[in-house]
Amino acid sequence: MPAERRPLSFVGAAAWTVGAALLVDLALSITEVSRPGASLDLVNVTLCHVLAYSAAVFAILRVHAPDSSVREVIGLRRVPVLVLVLAIAIGACVYPAASWLDAIVAKRFPSAPETTEALGKLMGSSTLARRAFLGVALVLIMPIAEEVYFRGVLFGGLRAGRTPGMVILGTSVYFAIARADVRSFASVLALGAMLGWMRDRTRSIVPTILVQAAFFAVPVIPILRGRDPMADEVYPRAWIVGGLALAALAAAAIERMSRAWVDAEDEEVG
């Protein structure tokens, strides 16, 4: 018999997300005071995010699911290998369209010079070690931390008794608010919706982690090879349209495959 969980409301989920964001800011402020410039150090920023989201996950588990299996609550479960391959393809294929959308919004809301300068320092990778950590942080550490929180404890907690669409929309909004500024809000919101759909259909955060990892690997790999991280990347229209088409085909394949194993599991539980 499944362990009883305390219900998680959308207001509660929003409060937890605000708390996690405030905890990130607090950690960054403390480290900045103790070591000036730490807020622009990618290692420090990554650690602050991981600690804040880990604390939020732990708190939610203790309050809402103290007797449940952690793996069950966050949705850490196996899925077919082909689904994992298709998840990677989806993440990589949709990035050009997201970049195109960000560029359109950026023309309407350009970044302040000091914001651009700070981002350049944060993403700077003058040494091999810094470039290596940049790749690990953006392609591995941050996706895991965010997916365990947003598509893990939040999605799992909100899903009980609610329609998938409501939960996908809610977690996508929280994800976009926590992850993005006005220039990337639309693209991150769309990414969050896709991740929420993936989580709902596969009932696992493993594919969603791979989607995020592949998504951010597209811009990170050229940086690891020496490209200026602040240089604008313009993708041909054929890449944008073709990427979306391939992502749609991969999503359709996952939808069809998921009906087989997920529905079979429902019948066994029933």
Are 49 and 24 in contact, with CB atoms under 8 Å apart?
yes
- 11-69 pLDDT tens trace: 999 999 999 999 999 999 999 999 888 888 888 899 999 999 999 999 999 999 888 88
Query: What Å distances lie between residue 261 and 70, 78, 167, 255, CA to CA?
Result: 22, 11, 22, 11
Which residue would you say has higher pLDDT here, 264 or 37?
Answer: 37
The confidence score (pLDDT) of residue 270 equals 46
pLDDT at position 126, please?
A: 64
Residue 183 has a pLDDT of: 82
Give the global pTM: 0.92
Q: Is the pLDDT of residue 9 over 80?
A: yes
C-alpha distance from residue 266 to each of 4, 19, 131, 155, 252 (Å): 19, 35, 45, 19, 21
Specify the pLDDT at position 258: 86
Q: Where are the beta strands (DSSP E) in 27-186?
A: none
Provide the residue ranges of all domains of the chain, joining segments of one domain with +. 10-269
How much is the pLDDT for 1? 44
Indicate the length of the chain as a whole number. Answer: 270
